[in-house]
Structure 1
Amino acid sequence: MERGSSKHGPRIDENMSQEVSGLVQGPGAAGSRVEESRQPEPAGEDQPEPKTVTAGASRGGNPQGMSADDVEGRSRLGRFITMTALPGDREALLANARENQAPADIIAALERLPDGTRYQTISEVWAALGHTNETTRW
């Protein structure tokens, strides 16, 4: 038994594949349509225009109360302190960061933490280092 398309012939299949080639091979931007008929329709009179994110802008947004630099800094700190170190005190965090080959600025920051305090999360460590975490809206 031969398997194949019973709905179209080879000529129609080829034409259909050419119709979508711009969508499949293009970079995906709205302006990359091959044919003018494939351009998206403009927004209606009472509809806002679609916005594009500028290069380098954060696509996910930032939590309320944190800047993009705060988010990146806390994330960077979290890359060098694994969950096995938490909950932990300054010495446990330092040992874990050194194990994970943290850069000198991360080690220096962790050395400034007060001795004898146990931290449950990276956010608690971040706050103890003098930075802000997200604020909640209730």
Structure 2
Amino acid sequence: MERGSSKHAPRVDDQMSQEVRGLVQGPGTGGSRVEEFREAEPAGEDQPGATTAPAGDLRTGTPQGMTSQDVEARSRLGRFITMTALPGDRLALIANARENEAPDDLVAALERLPEGTRYQTVSEVWAALGHRNETTRW
């Protein structure tokens, strides 16, 4: 017994599979979803390449009131203080950071936090360490 499509002829099945090949296989396998005439042409030899920063200044998602270095440093702090430690005081934050194998400089910074204060978020810990958080726009 031969198995095959009972609804279409083999020629129609082949034609239908060609029509959806770009959707099934994606653009990297020769079946691009984009028509050839819509693809961007590369820059010429005497032209600059395409850039996401046409004015030369790369615009990032840095919030107002912080530098990209501040954002990266706060993110680094947040990687070693998990949500299970928050809300928490100085000792809970230090213990959690050590459990997560935080670098010595982060543990030393947490040890400088004042005692008796409970922190709700990593941003509050960051501010208590003497850094600035983003400013809100009203």
Which TM-score band applies after superposition, normalised by the shorter structure? 0.5 to 0.7
The match for 1:25 among 16, 25, 28 is 28
TM-score by length of 2: 0.66
Deviation at 1:95?
0.7
- Alpha-carbon distance between aligned partners in 2 of 1:111 and 1:19, rounded to the nearest angstrom: 57
Judged with a 3 Å threshold, the aligned counterparts in structure 2 of structure 1 residues 104 and 16 are, in CA distance, closer, same or farther, namely same
Instruction: Give the superposition deviation at 1:131.
Output: 0.9
Distance 1:18 1:80, change over 3 A: closer
Task: Name the larger-Rg structure.
Answer: 2
Indicate the residue corresponding to 1:44 in structure 2. Answer: none
Q: TM-score, normalised by structure 1?
A: 0.66
How many residue pairs match? The answer is 119
The corresponding residue for 1:132 is 132
Most deviating of 66-75 and 6-15: 6-15
> C-alpha separation between the residues in 1 aligned to 2:22 and 2:79?
46
The sequence identity of aligned pairs, in percent, is 58
SS at match of 1:64: coil
Q: Distance in 1 between matches of 2:59 and 2:6?
A: 46
Structure 1: tracts of 5 or more residues without a match: 27-32, 42-50
For residues 73-132 of structure 1, give each alpha carbon's deviation from its aligned partner in whole angstroms, at most 9, with x where no partner exists.
111111111111111111111011001110011101111111221111110000011111
- Residue 83 to residue 119, structure 1, CA distance change in 2 (3 Å): same
The runs of 4+ residues in structure 1 deviating greater than 2 Å are 1-20, 38-41, 51-54
Letter in 2 for 1:2: G
Superposed counterparts of 1:1-138, under 5 Å:
2-3=4-5, 6=8, 9=12, 12=15, 24-25=27-28, 35=36, 37-40=37-40, 52-53=51-52, 61-138=61-138
